[in-house]
């Protein structure tokens, strides 16, 4: 709030920390200053000041602006928006995502990444057997279902985002590609904590691929490619048909149990609305060792105890 001695120009130079007044009718209204973390519900008054422009998550009735979703108010200059607490994933360039092939088109695959629209993976954006740099031929188009078919899971990177919000993906690195030897499930994308990498090697012989879009893949640990002095670029150039194989490796009972424990630990964090990252997943796995049978972790009271233990230890 401005004091009597502060000028309007001084307020313009401030960081516009949000400030709400109560108008006596139970509604919170902006007084020219925006509170960035104020939580609003659908139909709640955001502001009645016409100086603000309406953005996503808002609607107007006359001069008043209301929230159309449950979320937090954000501002960019004079633009007011409400970022939803829950919602579909919104792709951003560079995001590491997991997707499922929905359809095979002409020179491209349509991929479900949990966004409002299917993403597109072009034939020229994948590694093909015989060399990553080679020209994509008509024979490659005829064999597209041999590479990836409906129902296949893959991890990829968002290469571009089109004007309509659809994402273009690529798998031009052996860090990405078809997923095998594991278990797939989803959590809300809002709970995924962004980090420099989203592929982790976990205790118990398990690898975790934590997609920014909330899609999760837990798999048997695989030997790191390039570990014997061969560059990933050369391996990609020499990639053969095995990168598109549908055959899963044998997974021991111990690794299967570890995968179940990690799955239930992540679902416990989801149940308690706790953000998910590598450290918290490992802490949840360690807390799960208290229970001999990982099936015990599905009880809600156990989920709360695991989440509390994670928060205390991370």
Choosing from 210, 227, 244, the residue where a domain stops is 244
Q: Taking 60 as the threshold, does the pLDDT of residue 300 lie above it?
A: yes
**CA–CA distance, 92 with 20 (Å, rounded to integer):** 32
| Range 29-58 burial, b when 16+ CB lie within 10 A, else e | bbeebbbeebebeeebbbbbeeebebbebb
Q: Find the domain containing 167 and state its range.
A: 96-244
Q: How many structural domains does the chain have? A: 3
Q: What is the pLDDT of residue 204?
A: 92
Pair (232, 258) in one structural domain: no
* Inside any domain, residue 1: no
Q: Taking 50 as the threshold, does the pLDDT of residue 19 lie above it?
A: no
Q: Taking 70 as the threshold, does the pLDDT of residue 35 lie above it?
A: no
Across the chain, which distance is largest between two alpha carbons, in Å? 76
* Inside any domain, residue 123: yes
* Inside any domain, residue 90: no
* Inside any domain, residue 68: yes
Q: What is the pLDDT of residue 71?
A: 86
Model pTM?
0.76
Nearest partner of 29 among 70, 71, 64, judged by Cα: 64
Q: What is the pLDDT of residue 242?
A: 74
Mean pLDDT to the nearest integer, 296-300:
94
Q: Taking 60 as the threshold, does the pLDDT of residue 299 lie above it?
A: yes
- Name the more confident of 107 and 216: 216
For all residues of the chain together, what is the average pLDDT? 82
Q: Taking 90 as the threshold, does the pLDDT of residue 238 lie above it?
A: no
Pair (200, 300) in one structural domain: no
Confidence of residue 17 (pLDDT cuts 50, 70, 90): very low
Mean pLDDT to the nearest integer, 21-50:
62
Pair (148, 217) in one structural domain: yes
Share of the chain above pLDDT 90, in %: 52
* Inside any domain, residue 301: yes
Choosing from 244, 276, 298, the residue where a domain stops is 244
* Inside any domain, residue 91: no
Pair (304, 230) in one structural domain: no
CATH number of the domain within which 200 lies: 2.40.50.140
C-alpha separations of 228 from 75, 173, 176, 270 in Å: 50, 18, 19, 38
Q: Taking 50 as the threshold, does the pLDDT of residue 80 lie above it?
A: yes
Pair (105, 213) in one structural domain: yes
- What the block records as the tokens of 271 is 């149940």
Pair (120, 45) in one structural domain: no
Confidence of residue 164 (pLDDT cuts 50, 70, 90): confident
CATH number of the domain within which 39 lies: 2.40.50.100
* Inside any domain, residue 89: no
| Range 119-149 burial, b when 16+ CB lie within 10 A, else e | bbbebebbbbbeebeeeeeeebeeebeebbe
Pair (19, 65) in one structural domain: yes
Pair (69, 163) in one structural domain: no
Pair (44, 102) in one structural domain: no
Q: What is the pLDDT of residue 126?
A: 87
**CA–CA distance, 304 with 314 (Å, rounded to integer):** 15
Pair (33, 134) in one structural domain: no
Pair (177, 230) in one structural domain: yes
- Name the more confident of 203 and 124: 203
* Inside any domain, residue 3: no
Q: Taking 90 as the threshold, does the pLDDT of residue 258 lie above it?
A: yes
Pair (137, 70) in one structural domain: no
Nearest partner of 152 among 244, 236, 19, judged by Cα: 244
Choosing from 184, 218, 244, the residue where a domain stops is 244
- Name the more confident of 170 and 31: 170
**CA–CA distance, 206 with 265 (Å, rounded to integer):** 14
pLDDT in tens, 219-229: 999 765 443 44
Question: What 3-state DSSP class applies to 63?
Answer: coil
């Amino acid at each position: 709030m401005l004091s009597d001695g502060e000028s309007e120009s001084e307020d313009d130079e401030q960081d516009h920390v949000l400030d709400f007044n109560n108008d006596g009718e139970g509604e919170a209204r902006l007084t020219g200053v925006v509170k960035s973390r104020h939580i609003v519900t659908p139909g709640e008054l955001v502001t009645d000041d016409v100086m603000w422009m309406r953005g996503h998550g808002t609607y107007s009735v006359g001069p008043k602006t209301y929230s159309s979703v449950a979320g937090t108010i954000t501002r960019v200059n004079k633009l007011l928006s409400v970022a939803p607490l829950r919602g579909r994933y919104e792709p951003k360039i560079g995001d590491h995502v997991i997707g499922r092939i929905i359809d095979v088109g002409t020179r491209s695959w349509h991929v479900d990444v949990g966004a409002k629209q299917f993403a597109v993976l072009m034939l020229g954006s994948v590694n093909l057997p015989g060399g990553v740099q080679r020209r994509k031929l008509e024979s490659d188009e005829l064999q597209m279902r041999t590479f990836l078919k409906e129902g296949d899971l893959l991890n990829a990177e968002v290469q571009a985002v089109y004007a309509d919000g659809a994402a273009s993906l690529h798998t031009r690195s052996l860090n990405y590609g078809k997923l095998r030897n594991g278990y797939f499930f989803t959590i809300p994308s809002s709970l995924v904590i962004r980090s420099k990498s989203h592929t982790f090697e976990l205790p118990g012989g398990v690898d975790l691929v934590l997609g920014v879009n909330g899609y999760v893949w837990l798999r048997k640990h695989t030997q790191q490619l390039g570990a014997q002095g061969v560059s990933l670029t050369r391996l990609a150039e020499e990639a053969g048909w095995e990168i598109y194989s549908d055959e899963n490796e044998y997974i021991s009972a111990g690794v299967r149990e570890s995968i179940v424990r990690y799955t239930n630990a992540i679902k416990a964090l989801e149940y308690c609305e706790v953000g998910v990252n590598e450290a918290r997943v490992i802490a949840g796995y360690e807390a799960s060792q208290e229970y001999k049978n990982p099936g015990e972790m599905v009880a809600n009271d156990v989920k709360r105890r695991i989440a509390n233990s994670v928060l205390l230890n991370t």
